Amino acid sequence: MIADTLQVGFLPLVDAAPLIVAHEMGFAAEESIALDLRRGPSWSAVRDMLSFGRVQAAHMLSPVPVAAALGLGGTGTPLSAVSVLSVNGDTIGVSNALAARMREGGHDFGYRDARAAGAALIAHAEHPLRLGVPFPFSMHAELLYYWLSALGMPAPQNVDIRTVPPSLMAQALEAGEIDAFCVGEPWGSIAVENGVGQLLLPGNAIWSFSPEKVLAVRSDWAAAQPDLVGRLIRAVWRAGRWLAEPDARTLAAELLSRKEYLDLPSELLDRALTGRMVISQRGEERQVDRFVEFHRGAAGFPWRSQAEWIGMQLAARTGLDRAAAAKAARTVFRSDLYRDALANTRAELPGASSKIEGTLREQTAVASVSGRLFLEPDAFFDGRIFEPSKD
């Protein structure tokens, strides 16, 4: 029996899959909730839908709730990330003209080496390099800033970051409004299919395990409706677990392809789900392990250390006090609510709520409630580590 209906905002992206699957495969119904999924045209629209109460929850860029806590670009409404919907899933692409210059300069478009790809991009781009991202406060923007600054390209002197809705990224590239982009799938692949760009690098080549999208709710609603929050977290967790099964990918792509969701061919959506990426109209393919994760390695766990990393990055480029930003950011990723929701399930929950980010280069066993948790690699491309504040 369905007792409660929740309105949930989303953007048409592959990483909205846990919400779509929770609805379509009955995981929400198992928790006696129905999900009324409402597609938004842009990230600012989805943020506002949530902030002003038109939806109770949303598929959200992971930095948006952190930015709101820091007083950046928000509506003043405190938001909480109660789980991570997806890890990784972004791709960086370049225009055909820029790709041609890079190929002539010797870059092989191996779609793997962040240092080599970044050096080739910097060497052959015209300055300032115009980069399209879906939102100013997004993991897309943070990855690009981190990557290029680590390679010695100062921003904003040589980088012009422009906001382009994901579904319009290929059009902006074709129109010559941007030279390159970082966007979630399938919109990078759309640029390839439309013959206007080539894929240069997956986001996980920069940070192996970056929290891309979160399940966001208003903080006051979370406090007022703890039971509903718990049921929603469990439904999405079960959907993510189902998505991690290799046999689920074909059906998942078909569900996502429906008109009310992404309205695109399932074969195109399957690329991100399997990691078999087509990087150019020549048909060049690259296999990317962990291109997008929904479950493995405690992918859904909202690590406070990840929120703190985001907060520190935002503070560094906006001039905010870093210590204050770190403290505020940590409160946004609600590992406490996630633990409460999954306490009586078979979920593998880490023993801590923060960890040193960037130290893992292979699958690693860590202390957990069940004793069975293996974390996936989380290294940054340049070898740096991020040590958060003490719990």
Q: What is the pLDDT of residues 69-92, one digit of tens each?
A: 999 987 789 999 999 999 999 999
pLDDT (mean) for 266-272: 98
What is the rounded end-to-end Cα distance, in angstroms, of the chain? 41
Alpha helices in the chain (DSSP H): 17-24, 27-30, 43-51, 63-69, 96-104, 114-124, 139-150, 169-174, 187-193, 219-224, 226-243, 249-256, 266-274, 304-318, 322-330, 335-342
Q: What is the DSSP letter of 373?
A: -
Binned at pLDDT 50, 70 and 90, residue 156 comes out as low
pLDDT mean across residues, the chain: 95
What are the tokens at 115? 């240092």
pLDDT (mean) for 159-167: 95
Backbone φ, ψ for residue 86 (5° rounding) = -155, 145
CA nearest to 63, candidates 287, 332, 283, 353: 332
pLDDT (mean) for 171-190: 98
Chain CA centroid to CA 379, Å? 16
Binned at pLDDT 50, 70 and 90, residue 197 comes out as very high
pLDDT for 367 equals 75
**pLDDT above 60 (res 52):** yes
**379-388 pLDDT per residue, tens:** 999 999 999 9
- From residue 3, alpha-carbon distances to 31, 33, 34, 169, 387 in Å are 9, 6, 8, 40, 43
Of the chain, the percentage scoring pLDDT greater than 90 comes to 91
Backbone φ, ψ for residue 220 (5° rounding) = -70, -35
Question: CA–CA separation, 93 vs 199, rounded Å?
Answer: 4
pLDDT for 118 equals 97
**89-118 pLDDT per residue, tens:** 999 999 999 999 999 999 999 999 999 999
Least confident segment among 123-127, 236-240, 283-287:
123-127
Question: CA–CA separation, 293 vs 228, rounded Å?
Answer: 25
What are the tokens at 190? 């759309």
Q: What angle do helix axes 226-243 and 335-342 make, rounded to 10 degrees?
A: 80
pLDDT for 155 equals 61
Question: CA–CA separation, 374 vs 366, rounded Å?
Answer: 6
Binned at pLDDT 50, 70 and 90, residue 306 comes out as very high
Pick 349 or 2 by higher pLDDT.
Answer: 349
Binned at pLDDT 50, 70 and 90, residue 366 comes out as confident
pLDDT for 391 equals 56
Backbone φ, ψ for residue 207 (5° rounding) = -130, 120
pLDDT (mean) for 175-185: 98
CB-based contacts of 168: which residues, under 8 Å, 6+ apart?
none
Question: CA–CA separation, 367 vs 365, rounded Å?
Answer: 7
CB-based contacts of 344: which residues, under 8 Å, 6+ apart?
none
Question: CA–CA separation, 94 vs 292, rounded Å?
Answer: 21
pLDDT (mean) for 167-195: 98
pLDDT for 127 equals 82
Backbone φ, ψ for residue 295 (5° rounding) = -145, -50
pLDDT (mean) for 50-78: 94
Element (H or E) spanning 61, and its range?
A: strand 57-61
Residue owning tokens 């996980």? 204
CB distance 149 to 175 below 8 Å: no
Q: Residue length, the chain?
A: 391
Binned at pLDDT 50, 70 and 90, residue 245 comes out as very high
Q: The pTM is what?
A: 0.96
pLDDT for 1 equals 63
What are the tokens at 31? 């928790």
